[in-house]
Amino acid sequence: MLAGSNEAAMGSATAVVVCGLALTLVCIALFCYGSFRTFSKMGLPGWQGFVPILGTVRGLERAANRTVMLVILGIRVVAYVVTIVSVTNDRIRIFVTFLALFVILATHAAEGLLVARRFGFGVAFGLMCGILPPVFMFILGVSDAQFGDDELALEEDEELEDEPSSVSEPEPAADVL
């Protein structure tokens, strides 16, 4: 009887592992397809979306100015280094690790916000794009949203303000004697 229950437990464990592996592969496929499409919409080669560090750098380079990109990447690198090289005290190590992981998550959220903003999506979508990239990069890739150029939009707005308005002001009435 004991051997039969062991086999049933092994069968259940195997089913859980196979389902988990299948779900992981589906998430990876969705992320790759969505990243490819998103990067293509951004005017970059689609394959750069799959390469972890290159994709982050090129995506931020297109979505934000160079200063913002360097700040986000610098903070993320420092947080990774702090996570790897922790202090020897266990309580401090746990605190520092959680703090560093929170900072990494915050930089991912900032990156998602920058990319989503350029596609015309709001704050909630941008945060979720940074926190749960496989799903939201897929949505971003298959949506009809086009990559916008904020700097050009700002320049056009300034040009419109400088142009004289087409509606002329009424002339003062001539004095009648």
pLDDT tens digits, 20-60: 999 999 888 888 898 899 999 988 999 998 888 888 888 88
Distance CA 122, CA 41 (A): 18
pLDDT tens digits, 148-177: 865 544 444 455 455 555 555 556 566 655
More reliable by pLDDT, 14 or 159: 14
Distance CA 62, CA 121 (A): 16
Distance CA 118, CA 55 (A): 16
The residue ranges of every structural domain in the chain are: 2-158
pLDDT tens digits, 75-96: 888 888 877 776 666 777 788 8
Distance CA 67, CA 73 (A): 10
pLDDT of residue 63: 86
pLDDT of residue 153: 40
pLDDT of residue 175: 60
Give the start-end residues of each E strand in 46-172: none
pLDDT of residue 160: 46
pLDDT of residue 133: 84
- Give Dmax (Cα) for the chain: 120
Contacts 24+ apart (CB under 8 A), 53-58: 56/111
pLDDT of residue 162: 54
Rounded-to-5 percentages of helix, strand, coil across the chain: 75, 0, 25
Share of the chain above pLDDT 70, in %: 79
H helices, E strands: number in the chain: 7, 0
pLDDT of residue 152: 43
pLDDT at 13 over 60: yes
Q: What is the pTM of this model?
A: 0.67
More reliable by pLDDT, 132 or 149: 132
Token pair recorded at residue 51: 């390469």
Torsion from C-alpha of 118, 124, 130, 133, nearest 10 degrees: -100
